[in-house]
Amino acid sequence: MLLNLSITDLAVVKTLNLDLDKGMSVLTGETGAGKSILLTALGLALGDRADSGYIRPDCKRAEINLEFDLSDAPHAQQWLQDNELDDEQQCLIRRVINDDGRSKAYINNRPVTLQSLQALSEKLVEIHGQHAHLTLLHSDEQRRLLDVFGKHQDDLETLNTCYRQWHSANQELQALLKASIDQTEREQLLRYQIEELQQLDLVNFNYPALLEEHNKLANLEHILTAGQAQVDSLYENDQQSVNQLLHHSINALTQLIRFAPELTEICTMLSEAQIQTEEAALQLRRFLKAQEADPQRMEALENLMDSIQKLSRKHRVTPDELPELTEKLALQLHGITHSSERIAQLTTLTGELRSRYDQLAKQLSGCRQHSAQKLQQQISAIIKELGMAQGEFLVDVVTPDTEMPKANGIDTITFLVSANPGLPPKALAKVASGGELSRISLAIQVSTANDKSTPTMIFDEVDSGIGGGIAEIVGQKLRRLSHNRQVLCVTHLPQVAAQAHQHLYVSKSHTTDVTASNVRLLEKQGRIEEIARMLGGVNMTANTLAHAKEMLCAASGN
């Protein structure tokens, strides 16, 4: 369950450190006091999208911290272990929003992605917003609620796995069937292109080496002329060669060694240079003798380079990429020549998967029919308690005889209601008023809550449109929900607030230029005064205080 909520510099909240207890907690306060920002903070910490607009004015960043006790959340514990984020039975979540709009998320002080944070949050907290009754009108939501109530998740996952396999195989099959219409023409083109490329001897294809050889042959005359000139300069010119000049220098300096012994090292260096010069000249001479013009090879290279350039331009690739292109075209050709075999395989596979899907869908439909009977009985009973004395709730599960496979099964699930006797049931969107929708939505949430493993449930003004004695029943049902889970409820109804085990009061302060919201835990007398305010407005009388005290005593059984 959620143990602590800490907020820093988020919207109207400067600092807040809120401890929460098990059971049912309510948040109350004047309209605009800042109750919604607490739920916003929870949503951000649990993975909602964030931007710099959430940061308190003149602040650099906002930060939200949540602390959970996981002793009642085995699925969350397992998720943390699977992702190597576990830290015994505690779970710390931190979300930081910077003024540049970027945000960072942490689980047990280790950075995580927003997707990971959302995956964990689903196992910790379930939030029912004040507009939950509007999503109830959507068929997907009605299907989801029935499956949650009936605990169909395992069957649903098995069916959806089969559907994904069928869908993937069927997509490939349809693509191959479409391609087979013009595959003969495509096959001929591929064969021609591959044969044309293979003339380049692509097994031994080395374009840089070919380019180097071509450049050498094209400049061979210049190489021979310039090379011979250097042989003459280095060695073969008796009067002015480098070798002859070094010889003269060595002789001259050797005569001076008897007068300046320190010249010995210089003479040694010059002797070594003379040896290196002679060796270089000899190697250059051998290289030049090995070179010879090869007009035929030059012509072959010219033709080959021309072919390479033409094919590169034709296929819009670089010369180096031609071998890779050939492999790619060969794979396409292989796919076409083997498509008939693959089409036969996929036809068999899609048939088998379709048969298995139909079987699983039929099995799931039967489970849904059974669960629908139980769910409609429970919700009908609850909405009668909530003031719809003649109301009847129905869950209509329609299973068509023939239907292509689709995600989540082939059933069409519709929630129907008859608010008055003698009137046929109709879809919620057509017959239910706003207040009736709120009560039906609450009835469904109460009915399906016991089938969920989420340890913390948050209700944000889901009791809107309800009042009087019905509000007291709503409060009792929310309190009953909190017997085996933590319930946090934002409410304007004193009848709901009186049922709470813990009462938190939200108020605004204007001690600075910037408005700030504060939250404090109310003790017994504070609760009496707050419920009296909710009952009678600003001017509390002895009667409203007495009534508030009586409501608290009745809720606690004292």
- Among 138, 163, 157, CA closest to 410: 163
| pTM attached to this predicted model | 0.60
Secondary structure class of 8 (helix, strand, coil) = strand
Query: In the predicted model, is pLDDT for residue 525 greater than 90?
Result: yes
**Taking the mean position of all CA atoms in its chain, how far away is CA 272?**
71
Averaged over 401-425, what is the pLDDT?
Answer: 86
3-state SS assignment for residue 155: helix
The pLDDT assigned to 368 comes to 96
Range from 213-217, 247-251, 282-286, 423-427 carrying the lowest mean pLDDT: 213-217
pLDDT of 518 over the 60 cut: yes
d(CA 441, CA 39): 20
Distance CA 318, CA 208 (A): 12
State CA 370 to chain mean position distance: 36
Q: For residue 32, what pLDDT is reported?
A: 66
Predicted confidence band of residue 89 (pLDDT cuts 50, 70, 90): confident
Query: pLDDT confidence of 310, banded at 50, 70, 90?
Result: confident
Q: For the CA atoms of 542, 544, 545, 548, what is the dihedral angle to 10 degrees?
A: 160
In the predicted model, is pLDDT for residue 519 greater than 70?
Answer: yes
pLDDT digits (tens, 9 = 90+) for 150-182: 989 999 999 999 999 999 999 999 888 887 766
- Say what the pLDDT of residue 93 is: 95
Structure tokens belonging to residue 61: 């960043």
Cα separation, 4 vs 17, in Å, equals 7
Burial of 436: CB neighbours in 10 Å, binned 0-12, 13-18, 19+: buried
pLDDT at residue number 75:
85
Instruction: Examine the pLDDT at 77 and tell me if it is beyond 60.
Output: yes
pLDDT band, residue 435 (cuts 50/70/90): low
pLDDT in tens, 439-466: 777 777 777 766 667 888 888 876 676 7
Task: Give the CATH number of domain 1-124+454-522; options: 3.20.20.70, 3.30.1700.10, 3.40.50.300, 3.40.718.10.
Answer: 3.40.50.300
444, 146 Cβ separation under 8 angstroms = no
pLDDT at 111: 94
For residue 396, what pLDDT band results from cuts at 50, 70 and 90? very high
- Average of per-residue pLDDT across 295-308: 77
Average the pLDDT over 370-398 and give the result.
89
Which helix (H) or strand (E) segment is 111 a member of? strand 110-112
Sequence-distant (6+) residues with CB within 8 A of 382 are 443, 446, 447, 477
What is the C-alpha end-to-end distance of the chain, expressed in Å?
A: 27
Instruction: Give the up-direction half-sphere exposure of residue 538: CA atoms within 13 A in the CB hemisphere.
Output: 1
Q: What is the pLDDT of residue 432?
A: 57
Percentage of the chain lying above the pLDDT 70 cut? 92
| Rg, Å, the chain Cα set | 42
The predicted pLDDT at position 197 comes to 82
Q: What is the pLDDT of residues 35-64, one digit of tens each?
A: 777 888 888 999 888 888 889 888 899 999
Q: What is the pLDDT of residues 463-484, one digit of tens each?
A: 676 777 888 888 888 888 888 8
Outline which parts of the chain fall under CATH 3.40.50.300.
1-124+454-522
Is 498 within 8 Å of 532 (Cβ atoms)? no
Query: What does 483-498 look like in DSSP terms, one character per residue?
Result: TSSEEEEE-S-HHHHT
Please report where in the chains the tokens 């006091």 appear, as a residue: 33
pLDDT class for 361, splitting at 50, 70, 90?
A: very high
What is the spatial distance between Cα 162 and Cα 160, in angstroms, rounded to a whole number? 5
| Nearest in space to 406 (alpha carbons), one of 175, 156, 142 | 156
Strands 426-427 and 412-418: antiparallel
**Which pLDDT score is estimated for 522?**
92
pLDDT of 314 strictly over 80:
yes
- pLDDT classification of 513: cutoffs 50, 70, 90: low
pLDDT at 315: 85
Q: Which of 491, 316, 461, 466 is nearest to 387 (CA)?
A: 466
CA angle 306, 312, 313 (to 5 degrees): 95
pLDDT tens for each residue of 478-512: 888 888 889 998 888 899 999 999 999 988 776 65
Distance, in Å, from the CA atom of 458 to the CA atom of 489, rounded to the nearest integer, reads 6
pLDDT digits 0-9 by tens, 133-155 = 567 778 888 898 899 889 899 99
Q: Quickly list DSSP for 120-138.
A: HHTTTEEEE-TTHHHHTTS
Q: Sort 528 into a burial class: Cβ within 10 Å, 0-12 / 13-18 / 19+.
A: buried
pLDDT tens digit sequence for 91-127: 999 999 998 889 999 999 999 999 999 999 988 988 8
Residue 336 φ then ψ, to 5°:
-70, -45
Distance CA 201, CA 326 (A): 11
Per-residue HEC secondary structure of 400-440 comes to CCCCCCCCCCCCEEEEEEECCCCCCCEEHHHHCCHHHHHHH
- Contact assessment for residue 278 and residue 243, using Cβ atoms and an 8 Å cutoff: yes
pLDDT band at 202 (very low <50, low <70, confident <90, very high): low
